[in-house]
Chain A
């Protein structure tokens, strides 16, 4: 024994004379096993009719019987429809156009249904559609099959019927109306013409009823500024596809800024065409998606951001440090150069700042900004919401009806509000789940998922879209509008109501066509929710102030609250796909955390360490803001985080009716004072380390050119071989490119006949949004493995988006450094330096899936030939042949193979959607659900390509270009992923293979992949 230390489990063990301890030492079982009782009575035993022989006979018989019973195959029942609906053919998918509008995300999408079950969300590719499907929208189909949803209306915590519910609420409402007490209808933004009309009709019936719109994540200041200037409550729309220069001051417009959805247009302007691409300069504090994609990113505090904006507007910029001043001056000159192709956007929560942005853009005559047809997907007004909040607390409001919002979760003073809420005379919550508010409300109206309801949305003025149910309601739910109609005593249902509204909108056009397309553009003026607020605001919500605690104390940090790509405002917190989706920047799943700069972390003694099993651990801090303290928030040291600022994501920390595994993170809404994204906080280190589930530990590329990038200048002026060289090897002392057949070990397969699929990924257009990751999950039945398994690097994502930081302006610095390394000591230290990220690194995203190598290393090592090659270019994986040696994964240079360590379906240890009948309804019936012990990987969506081929064969025609799609390429509305058949000479993919920017991942290995990448070009000129 190396140590004489005594280990003990219980205090009792410290007492040397303890009889219990002695007894426990000797006896494995504390209670004696009653063998004597059983065997001691010999007479009884002899008299027993069961002899030893009989016993053995029974054992033998039952074993044999069980064995033979097991031989027989199961009897499988097949139950057809009694009366089959005309539109359903078993085995064939139907698509319906509909619109998601959950108050945070607004998107016009296609829903793929099989045998009446929605199984996937796709982009509506008709031109004119507003709002692409981001990761959350892609995942929303799984939220439909959430077993934690409300299944029936409830009154006073007891299930009730709708009739009972209606009569009870109506009598209460009338009672309150008669006594003149105020009732507030607090709703999400619907942006729905019909709902707006309906609410107006309803509120006019009750004199005491007030309608207030509450955006969980507020854009109130931008709305105020727009309203002051243009007399309408909306948000300016931006078409970034035409932009030549984009200057963003704290606006994460590739994320959820002002409703999001700008990334598709942005990506179009980022692909170099005729030597030109847009220039993107980002001033921000947190490292956001926009900052990660920017050509030049300037980290700075929020206070400085306002100065930057002032400087851009032509006012002084005296308080700024020299390097920022320079960047601002440069941005300003660039803006002026670009003229009407320039645009400035800002995320500052300040009416003045927002007004300034509108003015700046107007001064350029910016074509990018559209103020004539503003976006209507945010309508909330902070002043009004605050008045409701205070009204409830002070008791001036007697009734509160909440629709699609959860104030007890998302109000900053939740505790105080919840107590006051429970004292109200009438509380009604319309909700899909029994959330924090619904769990204490007197009446809870179970609302359906958007895939079960009717609806209409005006995403942007003049752009109307329709929602239609794609499945019969799974539970006893009724949508808010139908309930409102029934309270109003109307015998109409909401469907007829929408049709009436749309008679005006359509103005004679076909309703069926509009429903088929999912949207309709019309110039008809229709009343909007915020119509009551049209005209300039009498008094703005807030000016200049960062809410209550404006004073910037010594040692305090600016906390910038943001929404994460996977969780948004937290509407779908119970969605395992989204929980397991890694954050694009930190690559951490199943958590939110405080992001802090390396130097600040060092000062506070906060650290991130990687432990032996590959997991990432981080310190805890307590965040103090005024009276509020948020304890034990894990810390992630974020390269590029501006000093003096910290970031924390909203939407986490939900606990009410959320599966235990998904009750992760901390509720940052507690710090969302006055609905401002920026708060001043102080931090104090707390004890303990948090275990993160991070999927990427490599902070640099260690000098390998996995990702290739260049600058626009080099791209335009130099030869391809300078910035995108084909690797070469020495053949008879002559440098020969690896693409030459002379240096090839393998005999090539003839793939000139039939189809040969290639997938091109443009690193310039990829913003890292992750929609493809979720689309792949949905299409290919990829299992969810949970936080602890992700931490063990056992995530099952077939498609991952790697995030790379680089410290220099280009990679050459890294390269030179690597080449100069000699000796072990130097290797360790110098690579260590490469690992330590710079203050403001450049970021690149790279989606990686199976590269479908023509000369696949995995195939040659499989002992059972489970993975093999096709002439269509796809690398096949026969799961039923795989015996799980994992040789293939070891031999794969791209690390894209995923092993099923466990049975992830129908296994209580992995209690996600595949473990219940409801959740399994989302599975794609065309793709095998893999079992334990087999390897799996991207198949290049062979089920989709085979279907396309079969459709063409059946119709007796050739496949048109664009028909072949993978789940990821179809989900990518940015055009970063292009899939097609390179034997079809007309196809776009053929151009991509010949593009100068084209390169293969690790081409020097000679695997000849069928996935190709386009070199990332950064527009660094003059910045």
Chain B
């Protein structure tokens, strides 16, 4: 009897544990979220709505100003403390006029920032400016690192591994069931023995072993040999066919450039940086001066972080600094040193020399989305090769894809003639001659 009770107890303990953990975990998660939210805003010293102000700031001022860091213009947090509201109003509305009028403070600012003229904003009403100033007067949000640091491990373990935990527990339960069955069987056997029940013991006849039977049957041997040969041929073929195919190739790059942040989170069009894809055969890896179009102002990462993989704000900021280092930009002095260090990116898509591929043909003429071949780039934290880039893959697409002939004078005549010939309205690239060897190999 003891033995029967014991497993039951064993069973109960884990299930209690499981229940307890399941109950506790959400509360832990909630606690974490509370900790993350920034502290409640402090009332602005000037009249105005900081929420509206934030919008106005982002649309009008953010190109040149940041709250806490010097950009093209000065950092603006607490600017109301330095200058009186009236002066600020007139400065924002027409700063060149103020400089011209010889206002000492205006001239001082003008001189300090290399005589860069601030765009006048006559379109902003006094209320707008008040709102902006209200936004700039908000105290800086305290860094939240301290709070999260208090319970990072607990939060992570519950939030992150809960699934695995449940699976583990289930496995444990199964194991216990098996042990229980075994024990029950034993107990029953013993009882039976005790009661004198006799089993009909099977007689172990002297049988020929199964492998000998197998060997004696020549047909079976033949069939299995053929099968084995075919199977190995299949695998060998499979092995050889993947030689040189680097689908999923995800090399470590000298600068951790996240397509997810740029193309995904910030919705930057692929062609914005890879501009030559529209007119050239290569998509072009953007030169660093293209990066600097934005990063001259964006010198820190403010988006979501993935602590689990180590993609913290510090991590991204360090990567931006790598860019500055490569192009020789001093973010504090805001000058180029002239010391350039070219970035040696690792090329991911390596089409062999014998194949000619032209981006502009596909991007501009055919209007194929970049994602068709490059995959969900906007979700790639680290870029990888999405397509196999094999000839079969090219050909399949050429066979299936209809050529976009609308509004292109080049195609008018060809379209008319070919659709008459094939009796179809839509023509595939293959029907246009896109399968001919020499179109890609020369």
Contact = CB atoms under 8 A, between A and B. Distances in A.
Interface string B239-252: 00001101000010
Interface stretch (A81-89, A419-427, A676-684, A788-796): A81-89
Contacts of A75: 251, 346
A881 interface: yes
B66 to A, nearest CB: 25
A206 B343 CA distance: 53
Interface in B233-292: 243-244, 246, 251, 276, 279-282, 284-290
B3 interface: no
Contacts of B390: none
Interface residues of A, number: 50
A92 B286 CA distance: 15
Contact of B279 (A89, A929, A953): A89
B366 to A, nearest CB: 9
A876 B441 CA distance: 8
A866 B284 CA distance: 31
Interface residues of B, number: 54
**Main SS of chain B's interface residues?**
loop
B123 interface: no
B414 A754 contact: yes
A555 interface: no
A489 interface: no
Contacts of A953: 361, 365, 408, 410-411
Given A79-B342, A84-B287, A881-B437, A939 B361 contact: no
Interface in B381-410: 407-410
A958 B414 CA distance: 10
Interface in B302-356: 326-327, 340-347, 350, 352-354, 356
Nearest to A876: B438
Contact of A939 (B282, B364, B438): B438
Interface stretch (A280-288, A593-601, A942-950): A942-950
Contacts of A53: none
Interface string B405-425: 001111101100110010000
A79 B358 CA distance: 19
B243, B282, B346 — which one has the most chain A CB atoms within 10 A of its CB? B282
Nearest to B277: A91
A278 interface: no
Nearest to B275: A89
Contacts of B344: 77-79
A954 B345 contact: no
B433 interface: yes
Interface in A742-764: 750, 752-754
A481 interface: no
Given A929-B353, A956-B407, A89 B441 contact: no
Contact of A950 (B353, B361, B408): B361
A73 B246 contact: yes
B164 interface: no
A876 B437 contact: yes
Contacts of A76: 346-347, 350
A868 B246 contact: no
Contacts of A82: 287-289, 326-327, 340-343
Given A80-B284, A90-B284, A91-B280, A954 B364 contact: yes
B409, B414, B436 — which one has the most chain A CB atoms within 10 A of its CB? B436
A753 B345 contact: no
A928 interface: yes
Nearest to A956: B408
B435 to A, nearest CB: 10
Contacts of B438: 868, 870, 874, 876-878, 939, 942
A792 to B, nearest CB: 27
A881 B440 CA distance: 13
Contacts of B280: 89-92
B414 A946 contact: no
B442 interface: yes
B360 interface: yes
Interface of B: 243-244, 246, 251, 276, 279-282, 284-290, 326-327, 340-347, 350, 352-354, 356, 358, 360-361, 364-365, 407-411, 413-414, 417-418, 421, 432-433, 436-439, 441-442
Among all A-B residue pairs, the 3 with the closest Cβ atoms: A876-B438, A91-B280, A84-B287
Given A878-B437, A879-B354, A953-B408, 16 more contacts: A73-B246, A78-B345, A80-B288, A83-B327, A83-B340, A90-B284, A91-B276, A91-B282, A92-B280, A752-B417, A754-B432, A870-B436, A874-B438, A928-B354, A942-B442, A946-B442
20 contacts: A79-B343, A80-B288, A81-B342, A84-B289, A84-B290, A90-B276, A90-B282, A754-B414, A754-B418, A870-B436, A876-B442, A881-B437, A928-B442, A929-B353, A946-B442, A955-B410, A956-B408, A956-B409, A957-B409, A958-B409
